[in-house]
Every structure is written in structure tokens, then in C-alpha cells.
Amino acid sequence: MAPRRYSLGKRAQAVEDTRRRIVEATFDLHNAKGVLNTSMQDVAERADVALRTVYHHFPTVNDLVNGCAGHVITLLAPPTPAIFAGLTTLDARLRRLVRELFAMYERAALQLEAARCQQNEVPALANFVRNEAAMRESLVREALRPFQPKPRTIREAAAFTDFYVWKAFTQRELSTHQAAGIVSGTLVALASSALGGKKGRTK
């Protein structure tokens, strides 16, 4: 029976290798051409597999996009609430928030832009955009949580830290570091005013 198990193991590994090649080919093509301009045939040629093999693993464009999710998340390396550990002032927490989000935008600008632009045509991209927005709002809430912010303050901070805010600054030849400094300074002033000047340490 051992040879039979070995054969099945090799077959499973071959299937996984094929799937990986398809995902990597799709990721590269989406970066180069965009999701909507990438055909299944393009993917098959890049992955060096038959077209029917692509459809077997990923029957639709949505399935292909979802298949690339792991690659995109690895590239994004989205910040978590742990970034605020040890930070007790409003200034420090908001500056860390902006710096980490803007660094993420710089890492994955191509993917984020594509998702924003093509979300109306590809449901999987729309879901990705919603998840990114929810992640950002969750981080904003955590950054402001010790200061008991009003809902409006959270909404304003989420808007100030949006991907397109970062992009607007960098398109004007400002570095991510410079953009983060400007936006965080403005956000600290805005939030401090809304919170009644609560810029000191949390308890």
C-alpha cells in the first residue's frame, strides 16, 4: 500500500504546484495589465498550462482574484492594533496610525489602485475594498479609543487616512514620510480640538 500513498502524495503535490503557478501568473498579469484586461488565455499562457486547467482551478474572474488574495495580503502586510502598544498620547497614536497606513499604501499602491478602479466590475475587488476600509476604520477606532471619540471624529480620521489622500500627496512629489508628517499633524490638531484638547497621556 505504501507505493499507492506515495503516488497520491505526488499527484496532490503536482496539483498544488499547478495551482500555485496559475496564481502567480495571475498576480503578475493583474499587476501588468489590470484585472479586466487579463484573460483566462493570458493566464494559461503565462502559467504554461492548458486553458481548461485554469478553468478547472478557477472557473471565474472572481475566483482568480480570490485566489490571489494571499499574495496581496502578504504584500500589504496590513498593520494591526499591536502598533499602538506602549503609546499613551493622542499625538503618538495618531502619528503611528498614519505612518503605518501610508507605508502600506506605498507597498501595494498598484493593487490598491486597481481594486478601487475596477471594483464595480469585479465583485471580489469590491469585497477587498470593503475589507480594507473596515480594517482602516478599526485601526482608527483603536488609535482613538482611550480618548472616547465621537463617531464624527472617527469618520473624519478614517477619511484623512484614506489611500487617495496618500496618493494625492505623493503625486505632488512628496515622499510617503513627508505625506505622513503633514497628514498626521493635521489629524492630531483636528482630533485634539474635537476631543476638547485631550492630547495628554491615557490612563
pLDDT in tens, 192-201: 998 886 555 5
Q: What does residue 27 show for φ and ψ, rounded to 5 degrees?
A: -60, -45
In this prediction, residue 162 has a pLDDT band, given cuts at 50, 70 and 90, of: very high
The distance of Cα 53 from the centroid of its chain, to the nearest Å, equals 29
Tell me what the pLDDT averaged over the chain comes to.
91
Nearest to 108 by CA among 138, 78, 86: 78
> Does residue 1 have a pLDDT over 70?
no
The neighbouring-strand residues paired with 45 are none
pTM comes to 0.85
28-87 pLDDT per residue, tens: 999 898 899 999 999 999 999 999 999 999 999 999 999 988 888 888 899 999 999 999
Terminal Cα distance for the chain, rounded: 65
Radius of gyration of the chain from its Cα atoms, rounded to whole angstroms: 22
DSSP 89: B
Nearest to 68 by CA among 51, 47, 49, 45: 47
Which residues are CB-contacts of 31 (< 8 A; sequence separation ≥ 6)? 110, 111
Length of the chain in terms of residues written:
203
In this prediction, residue 203 has a pLDDT band, given cuts at 50, 70 and 90, of: very low
